[in-house]
A and B are shown apart, each in its own frame.
Chain A
Amino acid sequence: MGPTVRNTEVMNISAPLGPATEMDRVAEALDWSLNRDEWWGPARLAYDAEVRWLRDSARMLAQEMRSLP
């Protein structure tokens, strides 16, 4: 069962964020989507693999960006 109340902080951005933080936000939005508690049915089976891959890639990219010299 996923969260039922969404943290809307990401939707009220007033200052530019760095690319690593933006990638964190990408991963957060996709992670939210993967854990929607109303998300149901065979459609989930079809979409989740792609969205999970995108989320993991975004997380990895955020880490790599922070480790760059």
Chain B
Amino acid sequence: MTVPIPVRDVTYSTDALRGRIDDLTIALNHAMSAVVSSGSWATDGPGRIVTAERTRTLTAELDRIRHALVSVWMTVHPGEAGRAHTLGDAVQLIAPYVMSGPLGVGYAAWTGHLWPALRPLADHSIDIMSGGNPRHSPVTVTALPAQSTSPPRSLQDRVDRIPAGDTHIRIERYAEDGSSRFEVYLSGTNFGGAHSDPWNAQSNLDLVETGSSPSLEAVKIAMTSAGITTQTPVVVTGHSQGGLLALAIGAAHQFDVRAIITVGTPVGAVADVTDIPTVHVVHPEDPVPAFGGLIDPKSSTWIVPTPHGERLMEAHHRTTYSPSAAEIDNLHDPRIDEIRANNQATGVGVRRDYRAVVTGGPHRGTGAE
């Protein structure tokens, strides 16, 4: 089921969600009573057996949808503890919020209710990290052989083109009326990456703390090398750390960024870019966006439950975000459709992947520079 909520409408959406969850709770209670009442039908002939089974199926579906709505509601609403009494399972909802700290995280990992437990920790850690000095580790960027490609036509198209493996940057160029239009795709963190990998976990901390990182330097080098200037429109799509990079590129105004699309990015950890259309997609089960703390209510964040109930890092994986992006495409929300229409490239394009390596000394994380 798709339940995307644009956080831009956070007040209306959360109130509406709360109301619908209450309604589903009442309906579920009656459905469960119907299941109990029809339980004795199992020996009363095939017609009754089938009807009793369908009653159980409907009840399970009600419960599944209600659970998904509760999951989304907890993600967007900053006052879960205060409002949880309106829900049937208030104790279950309040518990992870109260148990912040390691116990809360453990509970969250167990129940899948990540956001209430991680938010206090994330806000605290971001406070600690703020105000650091930029560090500069030289990076070398290598362009791989070019290939022809066709333009992306949807959010899902763009998410599917985010590179994997050791190529962290993909750039597409489309000729247009004597000029060019570009699409840039940036991959997520390589959590096992060594010092030489600009996309390792340290770069996330660098980006949040200082607004600079080797991965950001690599992206700027690749974009400039591809011919992207202040005069050439470009759409930047990023997964996880790639989304942080996309926001940093947009905020720098060094390029003519026309739209920013992020998936699985801790957007709450950095200031949103307000003068460029943005689309942020997060799974409530994904711990990485939750570590960003509260989502800015003014941002264009779409919260979609994972397609098959994936949790934790499975919920974070780029490929898990692909069907979620498709769900948003299929809604044909005017804001999304406008971004798509305004940035639709045409014709045959040229695609090139880029590999980046940190070539400087082991200065990262020391603040020595």
Contact = CB atoms under 8 A, between A and B. Distances in A.
Interface string B3-33: 1111001001101110110011011001101
Contacts of B62: 26, 54
B331 interface: yes
Given A16-B37, A47-B3, A29 B51 contact: no
B30 A29 contact: yes
Contacts of A57: 54, 58
A61 B333 contact: no
Contacts of B48: 68
A18 B39 CA distance: 11
A25 B62 CA distance: 14
A30 B27 contact: yes
B87 to A, nearest CB: 15
A55 B13 CA distance: 22
A40 B31 contact: no
Interface residues of A, number: 35
Contact of B69 (A10, A18, A47): A47
Q: Mostly helix, strand, loop or mixed at chain B's interface?
A: helix
Contact of B37 (A19, A26, A38): A19
B20 A51 contact: yes
A61 B58 contact: yes
A23 B55 contact: yes
A1 interface: no
- Closest 8 CB pairs between A and B? A33-B23, A22-B34, A29-B27, A25-B30, A19-B37, A19-B34, A19-B38, A29-B26
28 contacts: A16-B33, A19-B37, A19-B38, A22-B31, A22-B37, A23-B55, A26-B34, A26-B62, A29-B26, A29-B30, A33-B27, A36-B23, A39-B16, A39-B19, A42-B5, A42-B333, A43-B13, A44-B16, A46-B3, A46-B4, A47-B20, A50-B65, A51-B20, A58-B58, A61-B51, A65-B38, A68-B47, A68-B51
Interface of A: 10-11, 16-19, 22-23, 25-26, 29-30, 32-33, 36, 38-47, 50-51, 54, 57-58, 61, 64-65, 68-69
